Amino acid sequence: MIHRLLRGENMNPRVCGMFFKAVVQAVLLYGSETWVLTESAMRCLEGFYYRAACRMARENRPKKNSQTGEWTYPARKDVFEEVGLYTLTDYIDRRRKTIGAYISTDRSIFDLCKNGERRRGTNSRRWWWDQPMNADLESEEVASSVVSEDASEVGSQSSIEDSA
Protein backbone atom coordinates (compact mmCIF):
# COMPACT_ATOMS: atom_id res chain seq x y z
CA MET A 1 0.00 0.00 0.00
CA ILE A 2 2.74 2.45 0.93
CA HIS A 3 4.72 1.53 -2.17
CA ARG A 4 1.84 2.76 -4.34
CA LEU A 5 1.97 6.15 -2.68
CA LEU A 6 5.73 6.43 -3.04
CA ARG A 7 5.85 5.03 -6.57
CA GLY A 8 2.90 7.22 -7.60
CA GLU A 9 4.90 10.26 -6.57
CA ASN A 10 7.86 8.98 -8.64
CA MET A 11 10.14 9.02 -5.64
CA ASN A 12 13.76 8.01 -5.99
CA PRO A 13 14.24 4.36 -4.87
CA ARG A 14 16.75 5.49 -2.22
CA VAL A 15 14.19 7.90 -0.76
CA CYS A 16 11.67 5.05 -0.72
CA GLY A 17 14.28 2.95 1.10
CA MET A 18 14.81 5.65 3.73
CA PHE A 19 11.06 5.94 4.23
CA PHE A 20 10.82 2.15 4.50
CA LYS A 21 13.58 2.06 7.14
CA ALA A 22 11.98 4.83 9.17
CA VAL A 23 8.41 3.53 9.12
CA VAL A 24 8.11 -0.14 8.21
CA GLN A 25 11.44 -1.56 9.33
CA ALA A 26 11.23 0.14 12.73
CA VAL A 27 7.94 -1.68 13.39
CA LEU A 28 9.06 -4.92 11.74
CA LEU A 29 12.21 -5.20 13.83
CA TYR A 30 10.81 -3.97 17.15
CA GLY A 31 12.36 -6.17 19.83
CA SER A 32 14.30 -8.25 17.29
CA GLU A 33 17.45 -8.19 19.40
CA THR A 34 15.78 -10.69 21.74
CA TRP A 35 14.06 -12.88 19.14
CA VAL A 36 14.92 -16.53 18.73
CA LEU A 37 14.36 -17.10 15.03
CA THR A 38 14.23 -20.45 13.31
CA GLU A 39 15.57 -20.70 9.78
CA SER A 40 12.06 -20.94 8.33
CA ALA A 41 10.89 -17.84 10.22
CA MET A 42 13.97 -15.94 9.08
CA ARG A 43 13.34 -16.98 5.47
CA CYS A 44 9.76 -15.68 5.72
CA LEU A 45 10.97 -12.33 7.05
CA GLU A 46 13.71 -12.13 4.40
CA GLY A 47 11.13 -12.92 1.69
CA PHE A 48 8.85 -10.11 2.81
CA TYR A 49 11.82 -7.76 3.02
CA TYR A 50 13.01 -8.68 -0.49
CA ARG A 51 9.52 -8.30 -2.00
CA ALA A 52 9.16 -4.88 -0.38
CA ALA A 53 12.56 -3.84 -1.76
CA CYS A 54 11.58 -5.07 -5.24
CA ARG A 55 8.46 -2.93 -5.17
CA MET A 56 10.50 0.16 -4.30
CA ALA A 57 13.12 -0.48 -7.02
CA ARG A 58 12.95 0.84 -10.58
CA GLU A 59 15.71 -0.97 -12.43
CA ASN A 60 15.86 -4.26 -10.55
CA ARG A 61 12.27 -5.41 -10.54
CA PRO A 62 11.01 -8.94 -11.19
CA LYS A 63 10.08 -9.31 -14.85
CA LYS A 64 7.57 -11.67 -16.39
CA ASN A 65 8.29 -13.26 -19.74
CA SER A 66 5.10 -12.70 -21.73
CA GLN A 67 5.66 -15.75 -23.94
CA THR A 68 6.43 -18.38 -21.30
CA GLY A 69 4.81 -16.74 -18.28
CA GLU A 70 7.94 -17.28 -16.18
CA TRP A 71 9.22 -14.69 -13.77
CA THR A 72 12.88 -13.70 -13.55
CA TYR A 73 14.02 -12.18 -10.30
CA PRO A 74 17.05 -9.91 -9.95
CA ALA A 75 19.82 -10.65 -7.49
CA ARG A 76 19.03 -9.58 -3.93
CA LYS A 77 22.29 -7.67 -3.71
CA ASP A 78 21.38 -5.52 -6.72
CA VAL A 79 17.88 -4.77 -5.43
CA PHE A 80 19.08 -3.84 -1.94
CA GLU A 81 21.86 -1.69 -3.40
CA GLU A 82 19.43 0.25 -5.61
CA VAL A 83 17.04 0.89 -2.74
CA GLY A 84 19.80 1.62 -0.22
CA LEU A 85 19.10 -1.23 2.18
CA TYR A 86 21.16 -4.01 3.70
CA THR A 87 19.90 -7.52 4.30
CA LEU A 88 17.53 -8.09 7.18
CA THR A 89 20.08 -10.32 8.88
CA ASP A 90 22.55 -7.42 8.91
CA TYR A 91 20.05 -5.15 10.67
CA ILE A 92 19.12 -7.78 13.26
CA ASP A 93 22.80 -8.56 13.95
CA ARG A 94 23.53 -4.86 14.36
CA ARG A 95 20.68 -4.48 16.86
CA ARG A 96 21.88 -7.53 18.80
CA LYS A 97 25.43 -6.18 18.95
CA THR A 98 24.17 -2.81 20.17
CA ILE A 99 22.10 -4.29 22.99
CA GLY A 100 24.94 -6.69 23.83
CA ALA A 101 27.41 -3.81 24.16
CA TYR A 102 24.93 -1.90 26.31
CA ILE A 103 24.32 -4.84 28.64
CA SER A 104 27.96 -5.88 28.93
CA THR A 105 29.15 -2.50 30.18
CA ASP A 106 29.43 -2.13 33.95
CA ARG A 107 26.19 -0.35 34.84
CA SER A 108 24.97 -1.28 38.24
CA ILE A 109 21.58 0.41 38.30
CA PHE A 110 21.09 -0.24 41.99
CA ASP A 111 24.35 1.50 42.86
CA LEU A 112 23.38 4.47 40.75
CA CYS A 113 19.98 4.68 42.47
CA LYS A 114 21.35 4.22 45.96
CA ASN A 115 24.14 6.76 45.59
CA GLY A 116 22.09 9.30 43.66
CA GLU A 117 21.23 12.60 45.26
CA ARG A 118 17.72 13.95 45.57
CA ARG A 119 17.20 17.06 43.50
CA ARG A 120 15.84 20.11 45.20
CA GLY A 121 12.05 20.27 45.03
CA THR A 122 11.50 16.55 44.43
CA ASN A 123 9.90 14.09 46.81
CA SER A 124 12.12 11.99 48.98
CA ARG A 125 12.43 8.50 47.57
CA ARG A 126 11.61 5.32 49.38
CA TRP A 127 13.49 2.42 47.85
CA TRP A 128 12.21 -1.14 47.80
CA TRP A 129 15.11 -2.26 49.99
CA ASP A 130 14.09 0.28 52.66
CA GLN A 131 10.49 -0.98 52.85
CA PRO A 132 9.31 -3.76 55.18
CA MET A 133 9.50 -7.17 53.56
CA ASN A 134 7.42 -9.17 56.05
CA ALA A 135 4.31 -10.38 54.21
CA ASP A 136 2.41 -10.99 57.47
CA LEU A 137 3.09 -7.44 58.63
CA GLU A 138 1.86 -6.00 55.34
CA SER A 139 -1.34 -8.07 55.35
CA GLU A 140 -2.10 -6.94 58.94
CA GLU A 141 -1.60 -3.29 57.91
CA VAL A 142 -3.90 -3.72 54.92
CA ALA A 143 -6.56 -5.45 57.04
CA SER A 144 -6.47 -2.71 59.69
CA SER A 145 -6.76 0.03 57.04
CA VAL A 146 -9.75 -1.73 55.45
CA VAL A 147 -11.47 -2.03 58.85
CA SER A 148 -10.89 1.65 59.63
CA GLU A 149 -12.24 2.68 56.19
CA ASP A 150 -15.36 0.54 56.72
CA ALA A 151 -15.97 2.13 60.12
CA SER A 152 -15.66 5.64 58.69
CA GLU A 153 -18.09 4.78 55.87
CA VAL A 154 -20.68 3.48 58.36
CA GLY A 155 -20.39 6.67 60.41
CA SER A 156 -20.81 8.88 57.34
CA GLN A 157 -23.86 6.89 56.17
CA SER A 158 -25.61 7.29 59.54
CA SER A 159 -25.03 11.06 59.47
CA ILE A 160 -26.53 11.21 55.95
CA GLU A 161 -29.60 9.28 57.12
CA ASP A 162 -30.02 11.61 60.15
CA SER A 163 -29.96 14.71 57.97
CA ALA A 164 -32.58 13.27 55.58
pLDDT mean values, one per 10 residues, the chain (164 residues):
68 87 86 80 91 89 91 93 92 83 67 72 64 50 49 48 48
Model pLDDT, residue 10: 77
**Which ranges constitute the DSSP H helices of 21-126?**
26-28, 39-56, 76-83, 88-104, 109-115
Model pLDDT, residue 161: 47
Q: How far apart are alpha carbons 25 and 91 in whole angstroms? A: 9
Contact 14, 22 (CB under 8 A): no
Of 147, 25, 48, give the one whose Cα is nearest residue 94: 25
Q: Which residues are registered as beta bridge partners of 63?
A: 72
Contact 63, 35 (CB under 8 A): no
